[in-house]
C-alpha cells in the first residue's frame, strides 16, 4: 500500500517542520505495510529529501519536463529531481492537463522521462463530471491510459493514480461501487499490457482520514494520492493508518 501526498502549490520553509512530523511518524505507517511519499513544491524537494533519510518516506516531484536539460525556462527535468533526492514524480495530474494544456502524448513523454531519470512515474488519469454524467468515464480513462503510458514504459517503475477531476478538492467522492468498478477496469487494462508485473493503482480525490478506511479497503485500490489532507502530518498519517493491514 502506498499513500502519496501532493502538496500542490502549498508550502514554504516552515512546512519542513510539518514534514519532520511526518518523518517521525513514518514508522507507524511502515508497521502496517504502508509506504509514504510526499511531493512538495519543487523549491522544497531538496530540503525535504535531505531530511527524509529514513527509507520509510520518499520525496517526489509534481511534474517534470520531457528533456533532461536545455532551454526551457521555468521547467525542471526528471534528472534534476533525482539529483535533489526525489524518487518519484507525478505526471499528468489533471491540474497540469487543465492549467497547462497537457495532452496524453505529452504525459507519455514525461512518464518516459521520469523513468530515464531513475524516478517512479505516478501517472494520473480521471474523467470530468460531464464525462461521468454522460456514461463515458470508463472509456475516457481507457483512452487516457493508452495515450499516457509510453511504449517504452517499465511497469516496475509505474504507479497509476485514478483521480476523477470532479472529486479533486471538492469534498465529493465517487460511490464505493464506482471506485471498485473503475479500479477493476484499470487493473484489467494494466494486466493485459503488463501481465507479469503488478502495478499499484491509487485512488485520489477528497481522501480524508474519515473516508480513507472505506476507500482503501476497496478491491484493486492499492493506496491513495492525497492533496489537501497531505499538508498536515496528523491527517496524512490518519489516512495511512486507516489502510487495511498488509503486513
Count of CB atoms within 10 A of residue 116's CB? 17
> Residues in the chain, how many?
247
From 53-61, 99-107, 112-120, 205-213, span contacting ligand 13P (CB under 6 A): 205-213
CB of 173 to ligand 13P, least distance (A): 9
6 binds ligand 13P (CB under 6 A): yes
Q: Which is nearer to ligand 13P, 59 or 79 (CB)?
A: 59
Considering only 15, 77, 206, 220, the residue that binds ligand 13P (CB under 6 A) is 206
Secondary structure of the chain as H, E, C letters: CEEEEECCCCCCCCHHHHHHHHHHHHHHHHHCCCEEEEECCHHHHHHHHHHCCCCCEEEEECCCECCCCCCCCCCCEHHHHHHCCCCEEEECCHHHHHHCCCCHHHHHHHHHHHHHCCCEEEEEECCCHHHHHCCCHHHHHHHHHHHHCCCCCCHHHEEEEECCHHHCCCCCCCCHHHHHHHHHHHHHHHHHHCCCCCCEEEEECCCCHHHHHHHHCCCCCCEEEECHHHCCHHHHHHHHHCCCCCC
Q: Which is nearer to ligand 13P, 79 or 163 (CB)?
A: 163
Q: Which is nearer to ligand 13P, 104 or 235 (CB)?
A: 235
Considering only 60, 150, 174, 205, the residue that binds ligand 13P (CB under 6 A) is 205
Q: How far is residue 244's CA from residue 228's CA, in Å, rounded to a whole number?
A: 22
144 binds ligand 13P (CB under 6 A): no
Q: Which is nearer to ligand 13P, 27 or 169 (CB)?
A: 169
131 binds ligand 13P (CB under 6 A): no
Looking at residues 71 to 130 of the shown chain, list those that interact with ligand 13P (rule: CB under 6 A). Answer: 93
Q: How far is residue 57's CA from residue 36's CA, in Å, rounded to a whole number?
A: 5
CB of 3 to ligand 13P, least distance (A): 11
Instruction: Give the residue numbers annotated as catalytic, written as ranges.
Output: 93, 163
| Size of site (CB under 6 A) for ligand 13P | 14
45 binds ligand 13P (CB under 6 A): no
235 binds ligand 13P (CB under 6 A): no
204 binds ligand 13P (CB under 6 A): yes
CB of 58 to ligand 13P, least distance (A): 16
Copy the grid coordinates of residue 160. 497509476
Binding stretches for ligand 13P (CB under 6 A): 6, 93, 163, 168-169, 204-207, 225-229
Amino acid at each position: 500500500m502506498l499513500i502519496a501526498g501532493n502538496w500542490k502549490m502549498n508550502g514554504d520553509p516552515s512546512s519542513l517542520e510539518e514534514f519532520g512530523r511526518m518523518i517521525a511518524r513514518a514508522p507507524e505507517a511502515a508497521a502496517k505495510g504502508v509506504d509514504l511519499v510526499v511531493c512538495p513544491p519543487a523549491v522544497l524537494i531538496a530540503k525535504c529529501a535531505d531530511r527524509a533519510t529514513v527509507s520509510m518516506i520518499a520525496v517526489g516531484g509534481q511534474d517534470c519536463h520531457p528533456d533532461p536539460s536545455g532551454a526551457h525556462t521555468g521547467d525542471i527535468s526528471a534528472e534534476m529531481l533525482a539529483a535533489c533526492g526525489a524518487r518519484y514524480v507525478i505526471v499528468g495530474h489533471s491540474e497540469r492537463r487543465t492549467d497547462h494544456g497537457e495532452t496524453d502524448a505529452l504525459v507519455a513523454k514525461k512518464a518516459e522521462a521520469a523513468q530515464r531519470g531513475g524516478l517512479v512515474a505516478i501517472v494520473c488519469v480521471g474523467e470530468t463530471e460531464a464525462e461521468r454524467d454522460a456514461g463515458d468515464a470508463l472509456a475516457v480513462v481507457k483512452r487516457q491510459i493508452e495515450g499516457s503510458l509510453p511504449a517504452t514504459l517499465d511497469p516496475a517503475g509505474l504507479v497509476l493514480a485514478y483521480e476523477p477531476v470532479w472529486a479533486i478538492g471538492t469534498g465529493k467522492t465517487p460511490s464505493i461501487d464506482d471506485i471498485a468498478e473503475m479500479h477493476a477496469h484499470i487493473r484489467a487494462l494494466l494486466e493485459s499490457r503488463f501481465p507479469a508485473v503488478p502495478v499499484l493503482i491509487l485512488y485520489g480525490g477528497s481522501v480524508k482520514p474519515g473516508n480513507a478506511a472505506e476507500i482503501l479497503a476497496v478491491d484493486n485500490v492499492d493506496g491513495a494520492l492525497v492533496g489537501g489532507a497531505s499538508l498536515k502530518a496528523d491527517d496524512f498519517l490518519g489516512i495511512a493508518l486507516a489502510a487495511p493491514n498488509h503486513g
